[in-house]
Amino acid sequence: MQAASSIYVKDFEQGDDAERIRAAIQRALATGAERIVFEPRRYLLQSTVIIQTEGFAHDAGSSDEGSKASHIVILGAKKLTLQGAVDEFGEPATVLVGYNDGQIHDYLPSILWCEDCSDSTLRDIAFTREPEFASAGVVVYKDASNIVVEVFEGNPCTETMGAFCMNRFDPSTGNLIGESVTYGDGAGNLFVRTGESQLTLNSPMVAGKVEVGEHLSWHQGARTDFQTYFARCDRLSLLNIRTFNANGFAMLTENCRGISADRVVFRPDGNRLFTAPRDAWKLFKCSGNIDISRMVVEGVRMDGQNMHSNWLVMQSVLNPREAVFFCKYTPAPLVVGSDVELHDGERVIKVRIASWSHRGKGEHGNYYRIQFEQDLPEEAREGMLGAANCWEPDRYICRDSEFVNIAGAGHLVRCDHLYILNCTYRNTMNPGILLGAEMPIHSEGGHATDIVIKNCEFDNCGFFPRYEAAGCIGVKSAGFHGKFNRDILIVNNVMRNSRIGVHVIDGDEIYLIGNTFDSVEVPVLTDEEVNGRIYQMNHRIVE
């Protein structure tokens, strides 16, 4: 078959839109074409394929299933571009619409699932669900046990709706306010339709947290599911991508080396208040250089961008240079010649991988046998933590980006070599930027070192603490207490309308230079017991 430089989805006529797109992908893979071209229209995706994958398990609430239903699957592609169209304003005019079965707290087919692709590009494409997985309205009545919500025009209003990941908004400003009303476990009961555009919820817990006149958003469910997924896709480019609505994590990039992204936007359309019940974009065990610009995240329950790997936990020492480690969740390859940082309290010892092998699965995780180029330290013992450098970015830069109405943190950072420049954080329930690892539940690491936060603006951030850290910027490793997050430069930022500016609990060698604190009650709050070294100069305090 003669290769063509581009394959056009419009040339395929068999089946629904999903089947036609899958046929175009198979033609491109068979012929070596480097571009699949979409029309400027909405593609309604109904049919699915089932693939075997280990991509499900990412946190304590994940399924152990080894297969996934997806509308569009791309496996093993090289130098392939999915090219959408744009409208007169430069916005994506190609919309991939994933099917929503309307089930309560259930998984849905992923719209796009990519594994083992290299030098791939996704550009000028939008993603959404239909019917939408989120709804919103205004509280018109409440008593001790019930609330009645008038649903905004264009939002779903069905006989029974879930009440998961519910949040409140100020009706005059549109700002997210207060702690989330419900989380992943919902409200216990479901909404019941009691009028053409009216829903009633019987829940004393919810009724005690909301007021008449407040705006509410809520979701049908809150599973750990991924609407778009990229695993082991090296040198991935994401250009002018838009997500209007998602049923779980809007996007996950897993174990990808090298990512460039420009104008990746997660924002609800119409008058829905929220985009997704989980994180917008999770970077999991991604490495190389990651360069993100002009990203927008608006309205997600949990974090705007969550970046971490998982701790290697030493199980046994086999000989002076070899040990077995356990790591939670999905398996990922290690890299010979890269370092593992072993943590003995606050002390870090680097050892280099000479060889490694996967030694099978354990309880919601995997075992690794690792041989090192040098002897393990005398302190090596069962339970010792290790952080694999090959599962963290060589360098992460995010610039000129915006995080608004986030019922979590804007940036959740559990890695090194991170530079956040000229970004805006507004109305984030947890700190706008939260630095530090987590151990007790998800075993997410490592700690945050070599961090620069410069020329950013924070407004109304961190009004509900996470891991005890609050404010515009928080530094805390959950499950640890000591000087773990180091070499942090916070310079020329503006922090407004927040109780705390910078809250340092588990930090050391932190430099605060030339920041402005405007209507901030406590500009810098530190933990006296940890007593890390914090240097401050040239602040501007505005009452």
pLDDT in tens, 404-414: 999 999 999 99
Query: Nearest 5°: CA angle at 338, between 335 and 343?
Result: 115
User: Where is the domain boundary, 188, 219, 250?
Assistant: 219
Task: Provide the pLDDT for residue 363.
Answer: 86
**What single letter denotes the amino acid at residue 400?**
D
Q: Count of alpha carbons within 13 Å of 114, Cβ hemisphere only?
A: 26
- Checking if the pLDDT of 1 tops 70, the result is no
The pair of structure tokens assigned to 185 is 């476990």
Say which CATH number the domain at 362 has: 2.40.10
Tell whether 166 is covered by a domain. yes
Task: Provide the pLDDT for residue 3.
Answer: 55
User: Rounded CA gap, 169 and 139, in Å?
Assistant: 11
Choice between 4 and 279, residue whose per-residue pLDDT is larger? 279
Tell whether 421 is covered by a domain. yes
The pair of structure tokens assigned to 122 is 């996704």
Q: Which residue has the tokens 């700190």?
A: 431
State the average pLDDT over residues 308-320: 98
Task: Provide the pLDDT for residue 57.
Answer: 85
Q: Would you give the DSSP letter of residue 468?
A: T
Same domain assignment for residues 116 and 237: yes
Tell whether 435 is covered by a domain. yes
Provide the pairing of β-strand 49-52 with 67-75.
antiparallel
State the average pLDDT over residues 523-536: 95
Choice between 207 and 104, residue whose per-residue pLDDT is larger? 207
Burial class (CB in 10 A: 0-12, 13-18, 19+), 210: buried
User: Where is the domain boundary, 200, 219, 238?
Assistant: 219
Mean pLDDT for the chain overall: 96
Same domain assignment for residues 480 and 527: yes
List of residues 6+ apart from 52 with CB closer than 8 A = 66, 67
User: Rounded CA gap, 332 and 390, in Å?
Assistant: 10
- Checking if the pLDDT of 108 tops 70, the result is yes
Percent of the chain topping pLDDT 90: 94
Same domain assignment for residues 253 and 165: no
Tell whether 283 is covered by a domain. no
The DSSP line for 140-176 is EEE-SSEEEEEEPTTS---SEE--EEEEEE-TTT--E
Same domain assignment for residues 532 and 434: yes
Same domain assignment for residues 102 and 251: yes
Same domain assignment for residues 399 and 387: no
User: Where is the domain boundary, 391, 411, 446?
Assistant: 391
Full-model pTM: 0.97
Tell whether 335 is covered by a domain. yes
345 is in which domain, residue-wise? 310-391
Q: Residue 369, Cα to own-chain centre: how many angstroms?
A: 30
Burial class (CB in 10 A: 0-12, 13-18, 19+), 220: buried
Tell whether 529 is covered by a domain. yes
User: Rounded CA gap, 304 and 203, in Å?
Assistant: 29
Q: Would you say how long the chain is, in residues?
A: 543
- Checking if the pLDDT of 300 tops 70, the result is yes
Same domain assignment for residues 339 and 408: no
Same domain assignment for residues 215 and 163: yes
Q: Which residue has the tokens 């090289």?
A: 78
Tally the domains of the chain: 4
State the average pLDDT over residues 320-346: 97
- Checking if the pLDDT of 2 tops 50, the result is no
pLDDT, tens digit (0-9, with 9 covering 90-100), for 414-464: 999 999 999 999 999 999 999 999 999 999 999 999 999 999 999 999 999
Task: Provide the pLDDT for residue 37.
Answer: 98
Say which CATH number the domain at 39 has: 2.160.20
Query: Residue 7 in contact with residue 27, Cβ under 8 Å?
Result: yes
- 102 Rama class: left (phi>0) / alpha (psi -120 to 50) / beta: left
User: Rounded CA gap, 427 and 480, in Å?
Assistant: 27
Same domain assignment for residues 382 and 428: no
Tell whether 437 is covered by a domain. yes
Same domain assignment for residues 348 and 415: no
Query: CA distances (Å), 354 to each of 82, 197, 321, 351, 357, in order?
Result: 38, 63, 9, 9, 11
Percent of the chain topping pLDDT 70: 99
User: Rounded CA gap, 533 and 485, in Å?
Assistant: 11
pLDDT, tens digit (0-9, with 9 covering 90-100), for 241-269: 999 999 999 999 999 999 999 999 999 99
Same domain assignment for residues 247 and 349: no
Q: Which helix (H) or strand (E) holds 19?
A: helix 17-31
Tell whether 298 is covered by a domain. no
Same domain assignment for residues 412 and 486: yes
pLDDT, tens digit (0-9, with 9 covering 90-100), for 503-521: 999 999 999 999 999 999 9
